[in-house]
């Protein structure tokens, strides 16, 4: 009986030591502990039978059982220490950062040259007391044409220039439509600018695009004259291009202004002597302008006997290209980072 029990204890000890060595993690090792030394553990079960042993047998078995228990506990403690060290080393390896590797480069975005110029333009006009407003790009013909005195049959209404959505709706060809919307909405005094996209059926080349941007300006009040228009445009252009530039007004025709003018700027590069920028002219065509036609005021319920106004429309691409001496419109739309990061 005693020999058998001793052998049994020995056997449990051997198997247990192997199981501990093979325990892959802390949980596995703990499971072995419970299986052997726990309340219902194998070694515990053997020890429970000691009551049946004789007085001589008991200390022999007890000593063996203790020896095995100590060996098991020692093995468990060692295995746990081993597992912890292994885990620690592993995580150090996994989380290691090679500080000698080059970092990830983040490039900082920049404003598009058109945005830079537009913001500047808004600042200039806000400073002069104007409000910035916007209008729809898909617009009714009555706002783009009819109420701007652009009667049926006017070349600007020709389908060659205009994208028609249906007979009464177009992609606006000019921001002048916002003049009408503004005057229908509020009474004078009015001082607004309205920047935005416009659409025309043009082929893409160095100076044309079917989508481009304009900025409209409208002032209506008592006693507004051509002198106000001239003074405003001069202030505007000098802020953008420097105080030495001169303006030239050439008579022109727009259906919604009378009198109308095209406005040229003395070339800020050659000071008017002629260069590649102004194509030898000394002057650069900048914008259209005029005194608001009395019929346009009437169309919007404003009495032309009491009020008068001026208006102008300028191409944003044009003033941007002039500003930065960009010679091809397409550069503004291609989003080539090498181009954009120069501004």
- Quote the CA–CA distance of 333 and 208 in Å, as a whole number: 12
CB 217 within 8 A of CB 312: yes
For residue 36 the two structure tokens come to 């052997």
Number of residues that bind ligand DAH (CB under 6 A): 11
**Least distance (Å) between residue 249 CB and ligand DAH:** 12
Can you give the length of the chain in residues? 343
CB of 333 to ligand DAH, least distance (A): 19
Smallest distance, ligand DAH to C-beta of residue 254, A: 4
Token pair for 258: 């009378």
> Whole-angstrom Cα distance, residue 306 to residue 127?
27
Q: Virtual CA dihedral for 124, 130, 133, 137, nearest 10 degrees?
A: -60
Positive/negative CA dihedral, 141, 147, 152, 158: negative
Interaction pattern, residues 247-286, with ligand DAH; x per rule: CB under 6 A: -------x--x-----------------------------
Which of 41, 313 has the CB closer to ligand DAH?
Answer: 313
Give the whole-angstrom CA distance, residue 300 versus residue 149.
11
State the minimum distance, in angstroms, from the CB of residue 160 to ligand DAH: 15
309 part of the interface to ligand DAH, by CB under 6 A: no
> Alpha-carbon distance 312 to 317, whole Å?
16
Torsion angle (degrees, nearest 10) of CA 214, 220, 223, 226: 10
Binding residue for ligand DAH, selected from 23, 135, 196, 290, defined by CB under 6 A: 290
- Token code pair at residue 111: 């404003």
The least CB distance from residue 122 to ligand DAH, in Å, is: 17
Stretch of residues binding ligand DAH (CB under 6 A), selected from 54-62, 220-228, 306-314, 329-337: 306-314
- Which tokens is 91 given? 């995580």
Closest separation in Å from C-beta 274 to ligand DAH: 26
Among 72, 278, 311, 319, binds ligand DAH (CB under 6 A): 311
> Least distance in Å: CB of 294 to ligand DAH?
14
**192 to 231: interface string for ligand DAH, x by CB under 6 A:** ------------------------x---------------
Contact between 41 and ligand DAH by CB under 6 A: the answer reads: no
DSSP-assigned beta bridge partners for residue 313: 216, 288
Between 144 and 240, CB nearer to ligand DAH: 144
Q: Give the x/- contact pattern for ligand DAH in 153-192, rule: CB under 6 A.
A: ---------------------x-x----------------
User: What DSSP line would sit under 207-238, residue for residue?
Assistant: S--SEEEEEEEEEEETT--HHHHHHHHHHHHH
Nearest-approach distance from CB 284 to ligand DAH, in angstroms: 16
φ and ψ at residue 159, rounded to 5 degrees = -60, -20
Q: Is 299 among the residues that bind ligand DAH (CB under 6 A)?
A: no
- Residues within the interface to ligand DAH (CB under 6 A): 174, 176, 216, 254, 257, 288-290, 311-313
């Amino acid at each position: 009986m005693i020999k058998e029990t001793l052998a049994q204890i020995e056997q449990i000890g051997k198997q247990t030591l192997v199981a501990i060595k093979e325990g892959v993690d802390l949980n596995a090792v703990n499971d072995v502990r419970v299986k052997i030394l726990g309340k219902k553990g194998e070694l515990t079960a053997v020890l429970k039978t000691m009551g049946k042993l004789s007085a001589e047998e008991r200390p022999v078995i007890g000593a063996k059982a203790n020896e095995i228990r100590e060996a098991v506990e020692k093995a468990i403690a060692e295995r746990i220490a081993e597992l912890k060290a292994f885990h620690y080393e592993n995580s150090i390896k996994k989380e290691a950062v090679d500080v000698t590797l080059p970092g990830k480069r983040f490039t900082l975005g920049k404003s598009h040259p058109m945005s830079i110029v537009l913001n500047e333009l808004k600042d200039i006009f806000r400073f002069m007391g104007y409000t910035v407003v916007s209008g729809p790009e898909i617009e009714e013909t009555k706002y783009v044409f009819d109420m701007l005195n652009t009667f049926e049959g006017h070349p600007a209404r020709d389908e060659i220039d205009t994208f028609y959505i249906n007979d009464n709706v177009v992609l606006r060809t000019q921001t002048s439509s916002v003049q009408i919307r503004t005057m229908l909405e509020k009474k004078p005094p009015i001082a607004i600018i309205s920047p935005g996209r416009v659409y025309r059926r043009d082929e893409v080349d160095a100076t044309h695009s079917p989508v481009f941007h304009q900025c409209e300006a409208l002032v209506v009040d008592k006693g507004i004259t051509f002198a106000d228009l001239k003074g405003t445009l001069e202030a505007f252009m000098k802020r953008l291009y420097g105080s030495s530039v001169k303006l030239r007004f050439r008579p022109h025709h727009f259906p919604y202004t009378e009198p109308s003018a095209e406005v040229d700027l003395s070339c800020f590069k050659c000071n008017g002597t002629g260069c590649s920028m102004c194509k030898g002219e000394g002057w650069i065509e900048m914008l259209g302008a005029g005194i608001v036609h009395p019929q346009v005021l009437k169309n919007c319920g404003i009495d032309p006997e009491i009020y008068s106004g001026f208006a102008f429309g300028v191409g944003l691409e044009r003033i941007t290209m002039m500003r930065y001496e960009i010679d091809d419109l397409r550069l503004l739309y291609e989003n080539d980072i090498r181009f954009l990061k120069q501004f």
